[in-house]
Structure 1
Amino acid sequence: MPVGAEVYVGLGANLADPVAQVRAGMTALGRLPDTRLERCSSLYRSAPVGVTDQPDFINAVCRLRTRLAPEALMQRLFGIERDAGRERRGGEPGGPRTLDLDLLLYDQRALRTPELTLPHPRLHERAFVLYPLIELAPELVIPGHGRAADLLAACTGQRVERLET
């Protein structure tokens, strides 16, 4: 595949064997058309943010190269979520889920449409995303926010633990 856009996708789950859900999500990312899975982070366990009366989440981030447009890639991510049993019904944000895939970054582009905002609008304030991002790209800069490593310092009080994988 010719070189495409560098993309980071966040994965998270806290229902129906979340470790297996996240690993299956990684496998599905590797099967996307016109896309190459380059590397995935370790798995991380994190306390829920927002809706706290639910099980801990398992999180990871994967780096991809893709020729898919951002909106087309997002639709493919929704398809992977549906295949994992996820139902998007405008329910409570941050609630429990079998698999959540977030398009975090797409080639350092800033984009705001009714369907998609890049970079992901809360990425810079979520330790469970920043830790695995930094593992993959220690010098990564989040457009409009700065270095991921510097942003992590502001994420106080968020419990995140790297799992042995």
Structure 2
Amino acid sequence: MNRIFISLGSNIDAHIHIRNGLDDLARDFDRVRISTVFESEAVGFEGDNFLNLVAEAYTELPIEQVVARFKQIEQDHGRLRGAKKFASRTLDLDLLLYGDHQCQQPVELPRPEIFHNDFVLWPLSELWPEGILPGVTDTLAQLWQDHPKQQKLWPIAFHWPE
């Protein structure tokens, strides 16, 4: 069984899409557990605030099938392929970690956003504070403590499952 971490984000009917996306993940993956949900301003474009969180789950699916399932879930929730990178979205699912695998294809793992985006590192460090990423010596808790905190985000009340 492989332990995976998934970044979820939405700024279009965000509560609905995040909740439904988590329900879909719980149907396809084992032992889904979530971080605190954080609200933040849109980065790189003018748009509604985002909700972001990280989920932990377990799977025996290979990386390629996990990524394909995430794309299908996004599409099921109205995500348009080919849209601009910095744009509003119904649901964004990104595989951050897949066990201790390091790869470039079908996605880069560990996902580089972990090191750059507050809305990824904070919830990931909350779920797995003692985690140490491949090629890194500090724990996730230490990485978050030392991170420059460049984005304003705040925790919100969110309960799943209901």
Q: Distance in 2 between matches of 1:14 and 1:30?
A: 21
Give the stretch that moved more between structures: 151-160 or 91-100.
151-160
Deviation at 1:71, TM superposition (A): 0.9
SS at match of 1:117: coil
**Partner residue of 1:157?**
150
- Describe the SS at the equivalent of 2:3: strand
Q: Report the AA paired with residue 153 of structure 2.
A: V
Kept in 2, the 8 Å contact 1:37–1:62? The answer is no
Q: In the alignment, what sits opposite 2:39?
A: 45
* Match of residue 98 from structure 1: 90
User: How many corresponding residue pairs?
Assistant: 156
Q: Which moved further from structure 2: 57-66 or 133-142?
A: 133-142
Match of 1:111, SS state, is: coil
**Which residue matches 2:10?**
13
Shift of 1:110: 0.6
CA contact (8 A) 1:124 1:148 kept: no
Deviations 1:71-107 (A, max 9, x none): 1100000000000000111x32132100000000000
Superposition TM-score, scaled by structure 2 size: 0.89
Cα distance in 2 for residues equivalent to 1:58 and 1:42: 10
The CA deviation at 1:38 is 3.1
The code of the aligned residue for 1:116 comes to: V
- The alpha-carbon deviation at position 142 of structure 1 amounts to 2.4
Q: Residue 63 of structure 2 corresponds to which residue in structure 1? A: 70
* Cα drift, residue 149 of structure 1: 2.2
RMSD after superposition:
1.4
Residue deviations 1:141-160 (CA, integer Å, cap 9, x gap)? 22234422233232322111
Which residue is 2:18 aligned to? 22
Which structure shows the bigger proportion of residues in helix conformation? 2
